[in-house]
Structure 1
Amino acid sequence: MTTLLLVLTGCSLNQQEIFNAALKMQDVNSKQVHTVMTFHMSGSGLDPDVQQQVDAASALLNNATLGFDAKAKTNQQKTVSQAQVIMNLVTPQVTLNVPIWVDSDLAGDTPKLTEIIQLPQIAKVTLPDQFKSKDYMVLNPLDQQNPESGNLDMTKLMELSQIFRDKEISFLKSYSKRFNPNFDTVSSSSEYMTTDDGSKIVRRYEIRLDDKQFKDLIRYTVNNFVQDKEAMNFIKDFMDFTLQVSQGPDQEKNLKAFDQAFEQFDADKQAEFLANFNDVMDQLKDVNILGDKGLDLQYYLYNGYIIKESGTINLKLDLAQMNQFVQALNGQQGASGEAKGALDMLVNFNTEVSGINAPIEIDFPEVNKTNSFNMTDMTDLLKKADKKN
């Protein structure tokens, strides 16, 4: 959402209003969020085997609903937070209800993060026998002794994330003032809605993009971003941030190599990159990315906050067009064996936000050795089994 808001934020007042509201939402200390998503997929003109697979997937996906009920709270410094998310997936064949709790404290010398997942029955039956009777799985990603941390220094990641978040917001505020794609994609209106304060007049903003506008926006964004010194420095900061939290043996070497490559990205290489990119966009002109309904997003603002988001994203893939595009990029015009048919995907979503900065209670389940297991325990067990084999 942040990326989308960035590229759609130009000089128009409507766009700036959405952007300001999105930034204000970053300072919210508590909220409840209810999201519902539905999908529709179809395929036509495909090879018979592929068509059969798409039809089978469509029958499942088109009758599915994915929902999230979440509530979260944090302190003013964003160092201590708690959250609960209940995911609901309903399909003709199965209904899944998966509650998740997160408790984090990054304020002390030893940051802590605990995640608790209540496992659905369909997941429990796949576990090793020792864990099949357990209701909860517990994860501690910040425990460096745990394999869950992978190749990342999770403690350092959380610390740097706090620092980088401030840099990101500062950059977005500055860059939005220089971002002007020269076409306004936002309209606005007012309507009555139920809010935390009762029925109130809410400002509604709608963003609409068709396939051509979407591609024009991508072209403008990349060209503008690459030629903007502050934007490129932001990319450098982001990559440095990513490399600094890596625990790989070549961390320092990779960081130095990236910084050196960045410094060598002079005006000539910048011009060469943009020439190649714009050539690709020219060839992409006749390749569908968005379907007939395009991209349609609505934001509802009250007291400067986004209290509701809804929309439709229509993706379309014409396999023949995409095949010709790939061949052109590879210099293989007219190659045989062209694909045929098209895929169409429609995603609808609706998100409502309430209880902004209001007191919220989150009840964590009591977990113990009888009703839960730690992800590390299962990982260790699987490792021992592998060694025996």
Structure 2
Amino acid sequence: MFKDDKTAGRRPLEGVRVLDFSRVLAGPYCTALMADLGAEVIKVEPAAGDDYRHIGPFKEGESLLFQSVNRGKKSIVLDLKSAKGAAAARALAADCDVLIENFRPGVMERFGLGAEELCTAYPQLVYVSVSGFGQTGPNRMLPAYDIIIQAMCGLMDMTGDPGGPPMMAGDAFADVAGGMFAAFGTMVALFDRTRSGRGRHVDLALYDSLVSMMPVAACRALMAGETPKRTGNKHALSAPFGTYPAKDGCFSVAVLNDRLFACFTEAIGAPDLAEDERFASDVLRRQNEPALARRIEDWAAARCAQDAVAVLTEAGIPAAALSTVSEAWASPQAQARGLASPVKHPMLGEFSVPEQPVHFSGAARGSRKAAPELGAHTQEILEQLQEGEAK
């Protein structure tokens, strides 16, 4: 903490007002990150609510998934197809720093809320469009969910065991990547506004985002002329760099250079491996990984995964036993880093929700609000609009 920290006690995005037309996951994930950091996020919903209000798991009739990615926001119900609802939305946009939407291209224009129209009317507005394939390109009008993006960007083709079928990743990483890059784009546009005095239209595609989140694959495809293939739980380029079986489970190890490899061979009682010509370089170790794996598995077969990890960690080798998601969230590390914090809800009581992971000096974590009930802030926000118009 700086001794003369004028930011102490203040969240970095306090005073930033966000008008959020997004639903499901990518856009709401973006605005949840902003709400965590103090932004006022006004979530505009139709009468039936965001689709995620109707997706499980449920508790006391409330979607826990909706609660997770809509924490700390306000909810207003507007019928954008009506002249009155669209007019209210436009009036709100005039009083916001950021507008985020994730409709298909052209939908906001039909509501009279398109980027060109609003950015012209309100030059300081940062207008963020999140869609499956962006505002341009031959696929721009295609519908897209996470699995569609994973299928089209090559991630599924790379994921799974060699010779086995392609596999989707274990969570909605296309949506999360889109939400992260949308937040990044929003912050860059807001920063640039402090210098230019003007906002801009930010065009973010889930497809672009997930493709960009695969730098090793990009290097191989763009520069080396290769087509990455499935390698299961082993690194495509390095060895030993992957997951290996022990007596009671599996453990992961990451050896990326010759020095670490020499330490690794000593740790597993096989110093001869460091002298073996088949394993003289990282490239050769990957080419001959099956033979190397057999020696590692022989060493680990009589050991519990935690014991194997303890031996390797003592030798300075990056290693870890596999954890479940529940174990990860309950771990002392996650607790120490404040990755989740409690909120109170009128129906659900107190429970924990995720929090954005970046730590800022002077900004406390926690002390947030649960996701709003549908339309909970409609009257309050519309009254504020009327008061503003009266002035």
Higher strand share: 1
Normalized against structure 2, the TM-score is what?
A: 0.24
RCO higher in 1 or 2 (8 Å CA, sep ≥ 6)?
1
